[in-house]
């Protein structure tokens, strides 16, 4: 786990060598980090989405890892939806008030989010131009209404939240608090809201936050 510095994302430049040296049970974590690094570099969906879909559907995979992979599948679908909405915008000079006007153009696999729930969609005014209604849009999965799309992340980057992590009196479990909030106890492989505990190691713990992997060194 040496490519993860405490409280930060992986050093992608070292990931291939680190993966090769790691036991098989840890390699899927490296595969996810490799996939989302490509996504953040604006690589085509075809270059990283198959890896995410494979991780999300492996029957014996860590449940928290599956959830992180599903978050990236959601971002992939959001990116495809964005193209449909932009096509509508080019013709109408505004985004639709609902998804109804483009319903016939939505492929079956995009009609729901990766958790089988309806999308939350809203036409909005741009943040700095409140007097221009329907010149922007928000499309997010029902389970994660605050999820940032790839188009936004590629501009702003990902800032890891402050995680306060400590031991719990349960096997393979850790106590975690986000940004000073109420702590929760998670066992390895479980998630709470947008945070999952992927792996507990002698050196520390590996977490997934909004699909990104973060390592917290043992104190």
> Residue 116 falls within a domain, yes or no?
yes
Predicted pLDDT of residue 161: 82
Query: Is position 99 within any domain?
Result: yes
Tell me the C-alpha distance between 63 and 68, whole Å: 9
Say if 40 falls within a structural domain: no
Higher pLDDT, 6 or 215: 215
| pLDDT at residue 6 tops 50 | no
pLDDT at position 10 over 90: no
Q: Tell me what the mean pLDDT of segment 176-193 comes to.
A: 90
pTM: 0.89
Tell me, yes or no, whether 210 lies in a domain.
no
Share of the chain above pLDDT 70, in %: 94
Structural domain containing residue 144: 87-153
pLDDT grade, residue 136 (50/70/90)?
Answer: very high
Where is pLDDT greater, at 216 or 65? 65
pLDDT digits (tens, 9 = 90+) for 14-62: 677 777 777 888 889 889 988 988 898 889 999 999 999 999 998 888 9
Residue 106 belongs to a domain: yes
User: What pLDDT sits at residue 26?
Assistant: 84
* Res 180: pLDDT: 81
Instruction: Please report the beta strands in 55-118, taking only residues with DSSP state E, as ranges in sequence order.
Output: none
**Residue 73 domain-assigned (yes or no):** no
Is residue 47 one of the residues assigned to a domain?
no
175 three-state secondary structure: strand
Predicted pLDDT at 13: 62
Give the model's confidence band at 3: pLDDT under 50 very low, under 70 low, under 90 confident, else very high. Answer: very low
Residue, of 5 and 116, whose pLDDT is higher: 116
- Supply the mean pLDDT for the chain: 88
Per-residue pLDDT, 7? 41
Radius of gyration for the alpha carbons in the chain, expressed in angstroms and rounded: 19
**pLDDT tens string 76-127:** 999 999 999 999 999 999 999 999 999 999 999 999 999 999 999 999 988 7
Mean pLDDT, residues 156-164: 84
Question: Is residue 103 one of the residues assigned to a domain?
Answer: yes
Which pLDDT score is estimated for 65?
A: 95
Total domains present in the chain: 1
Do residues 202 and 212 lie in contact, with contact meaning Cβ atoms separated by under 8 Å? no
Least confident of 70-74, 100-104, 129-133: 129-133
């Amino acid at each position: 786990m040496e490519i993860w510095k405490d409280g930060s994302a992986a050093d992608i430049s070292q990931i291939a060598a680190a993966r090769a040296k790691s036991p098989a049970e840890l390699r899927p974590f490296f595969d996810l980090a490799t996939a989302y690094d490509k996504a953040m570099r604006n690589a085509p969906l075809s270059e990283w989405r198959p890896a995410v879909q494979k991780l999300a559907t492996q029957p014996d995979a860590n449940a928290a890892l599956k959830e992180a992979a599903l978050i990236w599948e959601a971002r992939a679908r959001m990116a495809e939806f964005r193209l449909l909405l932009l096509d509508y915008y080019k013709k109408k000079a505004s985004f639709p008030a609902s998804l109804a006007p483009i319903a016939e153009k939505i492929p079956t696999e995009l009609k729901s989010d990766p958790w089988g729930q309806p999308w939350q969609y809203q036409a909005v005014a741009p943040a700095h131009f409140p007097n221009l209604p329907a010149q922007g849009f928000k499309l997010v999965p029902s389970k994660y209404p605050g999820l940032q799309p790839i188009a936004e992340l590629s501009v702003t980057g990902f800032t890891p939240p402050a995680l306060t992590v400590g031991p719990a009196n349960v096997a393979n479990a850790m106590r975690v608090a986000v940004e000073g909030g109420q702590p929760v106890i998670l066992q390895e492989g479980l998630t709470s809201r947008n945070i999952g505990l992927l792996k507990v190691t002698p050196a520390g713990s590996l977490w997934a936050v909004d699909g990104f992997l973060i390592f917290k060194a043992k104190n």
